[in-house]
Amino acid sequence: MGKEHSYDEVVLTGKSASPGIVLGEVWVYNPHSLLDSEMIKSKGTASEKKKLDDAMQKVLTDLHNMAHFTSRKSKDINALHIIETQKEFVRDPELYRKMVHLIEKEAFHAARAVQEAFQSFINLIEQNDNEFIKSRLVDLRDIRDRLIRYIQQNAMISSVQNNAIVVAKEFSPTDIVMLSRQNVQGIVVDSGGLTSHAAIIANSIGVPIMVDTKTASQLIRNGDTVIIDGANGKLIVRPDERKQQQYEELIAQQNKLLEEETSDELLPSTTKCGKEVKLRANIEFEEELHKIKKFNVAGIGLMRTESLFFSDGNSALEVSKQERFYESALKHSGDEPLTIRLFDVGGDKLLDEDESEANPFLGWRGIRILLAHRELLRSQLEAILKVSGRYPRRCRILVPMICTLEEIKSVRIELNNAISRLDSLGIAYDKSIELGIMVEVPSVAIQAEAYADLVDFFSIGTNDLTQYTLAVDRGNNLISQLYQQMHPSVWQLIRMTAEGGRKKGIQVSVCGELASNPFAALILVGLGICDLSMAPVFVPAVKKIIHKHDMQEIKDLTDRVLNATSMAEINLIVKQWKSVS
């Protein structure tokens, strides 16, 4: 098929978290496309076999990790059985023999060999009359797709052109991390909302992403020029010359502004009247650590640890693997403390679709999983304690999704047990290590004082606090207009948390998206919360705004916000504030 030319310009709408403009050449990411192509024969059978073996190892690790998070309660036993069966599919000797035969004798490349070998078994099973057995075909196909995905992921991602804009139907979190290492300029996805895990990761890594474009991956071809216009939520495909010129000018302006902003980073992180506000980084991946220096950020206020579960062949439970990760974060954050959040899986993060619950955000997630799978909790406490011994007074433990006092008591007991074990082994740890909780469920904000008696610090997670307060699933596009982090009720809960913490003398910080909104950051400071953590890229803008105002102005503004009773009033306050500042 010859390459087609001369399509007309198309403009799609989408959602973008950052207002920036990016222009570049498209590279379409489609892990299955190599299968459709004519290139069946591989170049080296040894390297193809290695690709297959690596992918099998990764899929087994995934299944192993998934089993850790699966509830052992009655009805979910089925989910565990399915995982066990899937492991046997991966380990099936006949299937493996067939795949290796295709690679070695027929010179198929690995993905094609997987496709063919699985198909031959699928055909056999489909001829079956037994419905129970046929119903497991879905699991077999799932394993096939996972294998192919891993095989192709490496091949596809390593062939991305520098500065490309990558377009796909969907991305997994690992796709995005791997892409960020390839210097891509931007990412465009058909589906998802701004709060989807892929979008959050892209934002935190600092790759502009446009989601919810619906048809982008079908309309756009490799090599097309596209423009992501974040501010206007537009994706311009194959722009005409005039438009391209227009946007190139806008990009030049944008770069100039960015330069000015970067020079502001040397501002002290204080209000106009000199009150210090710590602006810290939310970090999820090692590749983000260099940003602490780049954006002049005061260490890490929230270190997410779920990335330890991304397949690299090692179990996340390996204490030494965890230690390396935490240590590398400590090395990048000067003398500042490092707040490590315990594994926060469930909700929309990481777990497989097969284990879907009717209400995942009200279900199996966070500390609930950790308390049911104590081996996860114990390995993590041990790793953090061991690192704290080498970096005394710098590590803090943050517990996600607490919603009862009993949960934090149980964690405290586990922490004490872990300490006793290290004592008996003569291993050093930080004896004054702090234990804090995420305040992301209204029940905790309402009883803030009672919780403050049991912990050393609070960190308010405004994303979840908002969705639990307003009963809005943040991933649901039908009701996304109801998801308002600045809703008066959310402000009241934040106020209660800040007051509860202050009364009991414990530190309160915010690590949700709200902190990265300059106006909201002012109000948080007005509520006495002077420790804010956000994606590093937002720090310069927040710092600039805070430095422009003195405490009196901030307090007046805060009073107005706390007196507001509707979103309309809040919006009006923001609008007036913007017009004068």
CA 524 from chain centre, in angstroms, equals 24
Sole window of 83-91, 182-190, 201-209, 386-394 interacting with another protein (rule: CB under 8 A):
83-91
Nearest one of 569, 568, 521 to 545, comparing CA atoms: 521
Sole window of 57-65, 129-137, 247-255, 302-310 interacting with another protein (rule: CB under 8 A):
129-137
Residue 130 lies near another protein (rule: CB under 8 A): yes
Q: What is the nearest approach in angstroms of another protein to the Cβ of residue 103?
A: 18
Query: How far is 460 from 438, CA to CA, in rounded Å?
Result: 6
Sole window of 122-130, 292-300, 442-450, 506-514 interacting with another protein (rule: CB under 8 A):
122-130
Going through 81-140 in order, the beta strands assigned E by DSSP cover none
Q: What is the nearest approach in angstroms of another protein to the Cβ of residue 120?
A: 10
Query: How far is 492 from 481, CA to CA, in rounded Å?
Result: 20
Cβ proximity to another protein: between 91 and 578 the closer is: 91
Q: Cβ neighbours of residue 526 under 8 Å, at least 6 residues apart?
A: 554, 555, 557, 558, 559, 561
* Dihedral (CA of 16, 18, 21, 23) sign: negative
Residue 64 lies near another protein (rule: CB under 8 A): no
Phi, psi of 179 (to 5 degrees): -65, -40
Residue 132 lies near another protein (rule: CB under 8 A): yes
Residue 128 lies near another protein (rule: CB under 8 A): yes
Q: What is the nearest approach in angstroms of another protein to the Cβ of residue 74?
A: 11
Cβ proximity to another protein: between 118 and 326 the closer is: 118
**DSSP label at residue 14:** -
Q: What is the nearest approach in angstroms of another protein to the Cβ of residue 501?
A: 47
Of 395, 403, 511, 530, the catalytic one is 511
Q: What is the nearest approach in angstroms of another protein to the Cβ of residue 126?
A: 10
Query: How far is 322 from 247, CA to CA, in rounded Å?
Result: 45
Cβ proximity to another protein: between 78 and 356 the closer is: 78
List 341's β-bridge partners, or say none: 398
Phi, psi of 133 (to 5 degrees): -75, -40
Phi, psi of 5 (to 5 degrees): -125, -175
Sole window of 22-30, 76-84, 376-384, 412-420 interacting with another protein (rule: CB under 8 A):
76-84
Please say whether the beta carbons of 424 and 366 come within 8 A.
no
Residue 63 lies near another protein (rule: CB under 8 A): no
Q: What is the nearest approach in angstroms of another protein to the Cβ of residue 88?
A: 4
Of 197, 332, 487, 549, the catalytic one is 197
Q: What is the nearest approach in angstroms of another protein to the Cβ of residue 52?
A: 17
Looking from the CA of 6 toward its CB, the CA atoms found within 13 Å total 0
Cβ proximity to another protein: between 81 and 290 the closer is: 81
Burial class (CB in 10 A: 0-12, 13-18, 19+), 331: exposed
Q: Which residues, numbered 136-155, are part of the site for another protein (CB under 8 A)?
A: 136, 139-140
Q: What is the nearest approach in angstroms of another protein to the Cβ of residue 82?
A: 8
Residue 92 lies near another protein (rule: CB under 8 A): yes
Nearest one of 361, 383, 297 to 333, comparing CA atoms: 297
Sole window of 57-65, 119-127, 248-256, 568-576 interacting with another protein (rule: CB under 8 A):
119-127
Cβ proximity to another protein: between 63 and 198 the closer is: 63
Sole window of 121-129, 364-372, 402-410, 460-468 interacting with another protein (rule: CB under 8 A):
121-129
Please say whether the beta carbons of 271 and 526 come within 8 A.
no
Query: How far is 543 from 510, CA to CA, in rounded Å?
Result: 15
Residue 361 lies near another protein (rule: CB under 8 A): no
Cβ proximity to another protein: between 124 and 580 the closer is: 124
Q: What is the nearest approach in angstroms of another protein to the Cβ of residue 81?
A: 5
**CA dihedral defined by 413, 415, 418, 423, rounded to 10 degrees?**
-100
Encoded amino acid at 107, one letter: A
Q: Which of 129, 241, 259, 353 binds another protein (CB under 8 A)?
A: 129
Q: Which of 50, 91, 331, 409 binds another protein (CB under 8 A)?
A: 91
**DSSP label at residue 471:** T
Residue 391 lies near another protein (rule: CB under 8 A): no
Show the tokens assigned to 108.
Answer: 């198929």
Q: What is the nearest approach in angstroms of another protein to the Cβ of residue 140?
A: 8
- Binding-site size, another protein (CB under 8 A): 25
Query: How far is 445 from 462, CA to CA, in rounded Å?
Result: 11
Sole window of 117-125, 210-218, 304-312, 520-528 interacting with another protein (rule: CB under 8 A):
117-125
Q: Cβ neighbours of residue 349 under 8 Å, at least 6 residues apart?
A: 197, 306, 365
Helix (H) or strand (E) run with residue 165 in it: strand 165-168
Residue 121 lies near another protein (rule: CB under 8 A): yes
Query: How far is 348 from 332, CA to CA, in rounded Å?
Result: 29
Q: Which of 33, 39, 72, 84 binds another protein (CB under 8 A)?
A: 84
Residue 191 lies near another protein (rule: CB under 8 A): no
Q: Which of 11, 39, 46, 125 binds another protein (CB under 8 A)?
A: 125
Nearest one of 329, 313, 469 to 391, comparing CA atoms: 329
Residue 81 lies near another protein (rule: CB under 8 A): yes
Active site residue 511: yes
Cβ proximity to another protein: between 133 and 273 the closer is: 133
End-to-end CA distance of the chain: 58
Residues marked as catalytic: 197, 511
Residues at the contact surface with another protein, assessed by CB under 8 A: 77-78, 81-82, 84-85, 87-89, 91-95, 121, 124-125, 128-130, 132-133, 136, 139-140
